[in-house]
Structure 1
Amino acid sequence: MKTDYLAHGKLLLSGEYAVLDGALALAVPTGPGQRLSIRDGERGALQWIGREMDGSVWLEVRFTRDEILKPLAPKDFPSDPRERLLYLLQAAGALQPGFLNRLAGCRVETHLEFPREWGLGTSSTLVANIAAWSGADPYDLLAKTFGGSGYDIACAAADGPIFYRQMPGGRLVEPAAFHPPFAGQLKFIYLNQKQDSREGIRRYREQGKPPSSELEEVSRLAAAMASAGDLEDFRRAVDRHEELVSGWLGLRPVGERLFPDFDGSVKSLGAWGGDFILAAGGSSPETYFRARGYETCLGYAQLVRT
């Protein structure tokens, strides 16, 4: 037996939080993703090894056949890595009868192509790969486990930038003609801390749904960012987006909070408070951010799958 799967990571350029309430979002898949490989293994058991980008093992577990075949019990999604993985596999089995019977005797290895702490989709790429292996619908599997809008699942299989929108009974996923002539002036900076997306969603929900007019404006901003012909138009859309989300969450934008003297625009990507930000424009952004302790400063072409 020899089977391999690959899912791409994700970055949400616009529509954070608002995508949960039907706003149009602009997202890009990353070049780095996560691979899942299945080989013959120990008879009667499932061996699972999760590897970091450098090949070191971050998770090594073994499940007996009885554990695997236990019916999925309704409960909160576990936080323990072993229990979470088992729950994910059992959820796939609930969606695709017969899948669990194929697991005993397999040795599975996952291999991340980006540092796990970067928040580029360790979970979403795993969901996408397990869905591909099992034959389950990846969006249904996400809904049964981690939850969320599903844009990250769309990115996992995307070849380039996409527009994403949740719709009653489904979703819209279509290619976005986002090929900015100013791509060289876009940088992705890691904030040296991972943000919990589930916690970010909880905070957003506590504030109440934004006005429909503002959700519609977010949709227009996604289109404006994708079609911007120059950096200044792009920056205007970015700045307005930050202003809107700041008002919903009651939080100061990251540019105002951490980088008030930066001479470009700064935008949070995904849940506010961690992971990556986008810097647009500015003079010598690499020098600026690294001087402030943010060593990971990547160009658009370095990170985005195009």
Structure 2
Amino acid sequence: MSAATPRPPLTVLLATPRGFCAGVDRAIQIVERAIEKYGAPVYVRHEIVHNRHVVERLKRLGAVFVEELEECPPDRPVVFSAHGVPKAVPAEAKTRKMLYLDATCPLVSKVHVEAGRHFDAGREIVLIGHAGHPEVVGTMGQLPEDAVTLVETVADAEAFTPRDPARVAFVTQTTLSVDDTAAIVEALRRRFPAVAAPHKDDICYATTNRQEAVKAVAAHADVLLVLGSANSSNSVRLVEVARRAGAARAHLIEDAAALDLAWLDGAAVVGVTAGASAPEVLVQGVIDRLGEAFDIDVDEVDAPRETVSFKLPRALTG
């Protein structure tokens, strides 16, 4: 009987931090607690976070996902997603006397407050973000229709023509590429030296930290795998950041089943990370799959741990 073919060696570098951020963790807990307190079904307007596995698990617990309030019965609770909603949505819920719970990430709410302050101060607002993303829709929906101009690229920033160049402010989507956003901000500041900026970067700590962690891993990896869904902005950005940092073979995958082992041909080191809405169980699934095909040595890249946490709504803690 011949000996089994030895598995080729493979070093797996785990990026730290990775996976769930405090805003995602809070949003998921709000849905779980609402189901515990009020029973099923609990309705959720839009995907609570952009991850298929998270959404499917919550469906099994009793969550029903809809796109608009008109799809919700008035006698059941409804949760607003972590991405935030236009002001018209809670206003409609109040009119219909619905019980609603707002799972908007506090760091997104901070951007809403900033935009409101700029508007009250008479400034024209530039929102740096991606058209159609729920967070952008929610932020633009905080103010009258002509109060906010969406800018997606440096070219957009160069073409933007304000009513008064001396009264301009900018805010940003929280899940953007740090480097791309810096280039857009530089263009705005060059054109409008008096532009009002956020007191603290709008791109959230979790997005920034995960991008920095990917840069550290990409420098040493032949292949880099990002766990996350295709509609997750922060996950897509991680792939872009990885490629720019030297990991030309960077791939976004939903889970271990989506991993094509042919991608690893000739690779000695593979980096693994997860977007802020991707659960750690998906990372473990990829490690397990790699362990079936390779003799793996797992090395977690050392970095400071995140300690941020956000409180749940009082309605769920009383």
In terms of fraction of residues, the more strand-rich structure is 1
* TM-score, scaled to structure 2: 0.26
Query: Which of structures 1 and 2 has the larger relative contact order (alpha carbons within 8 angstroms, sep 6+)?
Result: 2
* TM-score, scaled to structure 1: 0.27
